[in-house]
Amino acid sequence: MEYIALTCGFLLILIGIYGALTQSNILRMIVAFTLANTGVNLVIVGIGYINGRTAPILDTAVPVAEAATRIIDPLPQALVLTAIVIGVGITALMLAYAYKLFTLKGSLDITAIKELKW
């Protein structure tokens, strides 16, 4: 099960990065990065998953005393939340860039942004 998640995650990362590197439209690149981010998140969660255990929610279903043996590693889940937040932040920023670039240049083609070089 976790291998499926991990494999999917890595696949998503690769697809994402591939997309980001091959698509010249900025919006598509952003989407590709979102895809890759999702993949990373999936990998994180996938790493934390332990077969046969339950979600790390300490409520009546999982008493505190048994938590250590019954729940999966809670840390990656915490991490993934942060990662998602940050990912959203960066995606938002990139979109803002896309917007500004479009208003200033009237194009979303990344290959057109080459004024600075060498």
Kindly report the backbone phi and psi dihedral angles of residue 25, in degrees, each rounded to the nearest multiple of 5, phi listed first: -80, 130
Residues lying near other proteins in the complex (CB under 8 A) are found at 13, 16-17, 20-22, 24, 26, 29, 33, 36-37, 40, 43-44, 47, 75-76, 79, 82-83, 86, 89-90, 93-94, 96-98, 100-101, 104-105, 110-111, 113-118
**Smallest gap from residue 20 Cβ to other proteins (A):** 7
Residue 23: exposed, middle, or buried by beta-carbon count in 10 A (0-12, 13-18, 19+)?
middle
**Smallest gap from residue 64 Cβ to other proteins (A):** 15
Residue 43: exposed, middle, or buried by beta-carbon count in 10 A (0-12, 13-18, 19+)?
buried
If the CB atoms of residues 60 and 104 are measured against other proteins, the closer one turns out to be 104
